[in-house]
Structure 1
């Protein structure tokens, strides 16, 4: 799939050592971006992704460790990327845990972790990215949402994930409105069940889970420098 030319840009994808994050980071490497592979605990996997990104044409690659739910750690993530690759032009907020159990079976620690990784992580990383994006009068922020939250569906399972992703979508729209005059766009990709999911419902759109490749097309559209009019979607 041919993507936009962003060879003059730095891209940071949170949680890009595995799964969806890995696929999205490598897609941006294919576009020539300087890429930052973020991880929390998966150092070896992150190094492998970094090597893959170099082989796919990324002119510069760095790995960066940090906890996206901690403000000081987030500042450290961005400071490292800025020192190694330059200020972040493209931010993909991918990190987000889930808990596919009935809400009454989930303890507060689990509930809080799901909200923090999905919603607070998106908030903290976006807030840290904005000053340099505003200064450059350019930026692309892409958040990972969830189709069921987008459509207002409900389920007795995975309560905190639904709640967190609904918050991510509202945050996306509010941040888009706040940055509409700054040369920054803020959008979300909201898949349903993706190929790396542990469980699959009996009925799926198009009778299959979304592949990683299904997410790359929307990513390319949202990060394209020419997509300057679309924000909050």
Structure 2
């Protein structure tokens, strides 16, 4: 069913430029299922990513450079998507920044940088896209949370990052209630210990033991693990799921 939806509709993914990121892995997965793609990132590499997906999968894909916390920048990017792609049926708020700075060393600039990208960026992009979904009577929104919010800090990032992800989860639950009658679902996927650049760079062999010691499954998570879960939540079959948080953390947090 996801394939059928994708052939006539578009998914917008923020944070899709990094070759090692969840957004890029998801874009590859959705492209293989025939989705149109609007890829948004502050890194110009996003335009090359879209071009590669067009060439490999033959799907409509547009990459746009934008600051997700700047409404004008986001508006211009989404206008480009709307002009060239099928109607937007799915939004994945994947862009984010980490913060390994402990609270006692953090300053206001650290707080504002992380909150601006993670929390404000999620609001700004959602505010631009979700109203059109509600008007059409169909939509899927998935935002990336984190086990760090639930555990009071992550395996890498600390309190400021946890707070920003807590804001995303609270916002998502409230938004889910507001737009459910309009056919739009809103959910959160909360990963832990995924080998991406947000973990302070690649988790090399010398760093790996400290992370593995916390994971009952005995391995690091991959971007493909997370992308598979998000793809399910974007599908028509997930229409009875909203306001939920899906943990994908290798057993780091149970319950």
Q: How far apart are the structure 1 equivalents of 2:3 and 2:158? A: 36
Deviation (angstroms), 1:56:
4.1
Q: How far apart are the structure 1 equivalents of 2:160 and 2:148? A: 13
Write out per-residue CA displacement over residues 182-224 of structure 1, whole angstroms, 9 at most, x where no aligned residue. 1111111111111113355342241222101111221121111
Q: Is the 8 A contact 2:41 2:65 kept in 1?
A: yes
**Segments of 4+ in structure 1 off by > 4 A?**
none
Write out per-residue CA displacement over residues 52-93 of structure 1, whole angstroms, 9 at most, x where no aligned residue. 312442521111111111122121221111112143211100
- Residue of structure 1 equivalent to 2:241: 230
Residue 190 of structure 1 aligns to a residue whose secondary structure is strand
- Residue of structure 2 equivalent to 1:66: 66
- Residue of structure 2 equivalent to 1:91: 91
- Residue of structure 1 equivalent to 2:231: 220
Q: How far apart are the structure 1 equivalents of 2:118 and 2:3? A: 27
Q: Is the 8 A contact 1:16 1:38 kept in 2?
A: yes
Residue 181 of structure 1 aligns to a residue whose secondary structure is helix
Deviation (angstroms), 1:104:
2.4
Residue 88 of structure 2 aligns to a residue whose secondary structure is coil
Q: How far apart are the structure 1 equivalents of 2:75 and 2:174? A: 22
Where does structure 2 lack aligned partners over 5 or more consecutive residues? 245-255
Q: How far apart are the structure 2 equivalents of 1:139 and 1:58? A: 24
CA RMSD of aligned residues (A): 1.9
Q: How far apart are the structure 2 equivalents of 1:229 and 1:58? A: 31
Going from structure 1 to structure 2, the CA distance change for 1:155 and 1:132 (only over 3 Å counts) comes to closer
Residue 37 of structure 2 aligns to a residue whose secondary structure is strand
Give the structure-2-normalised TM-score: 0.83
The answer to whether 1:39 aligns with 2:37 is no
Where does structure 1 lack aligned partners over 5 or more consecutive residues? none
- Residue of structure 1 equivalent to 2:134: 134
- Residue of structure 1 equivalent to 2:53: 53
- Residue of structure 1 equivalent to 2:159: 159
Deviation (angstroms), 1:148:
3.0
Q: Is the 8 A contact 2:41 2:68 kept in 1?
A: no
- Residue of structure 1 equivalent to 2:26: 24
Equivalent residue pairs, number: 228
- Residue of structure 1 equivalent to 2:221: 210
Give the structure-1-normalised TM-score: 0.91
Q: How far apart are the structure 2 equivalents of 1:26 and 1:220? A: 11
Q: Is the 8 A contact 2:2 2:33 kept in 1?
A: yes
Residue 17 of structure 2 aligns to a residue whose secondary structure is coil
- Residue of structure 2 equivalent to 1:169: 169
Q: Is the 8 A contact 2:47 2:65 kept in 1?
A: no
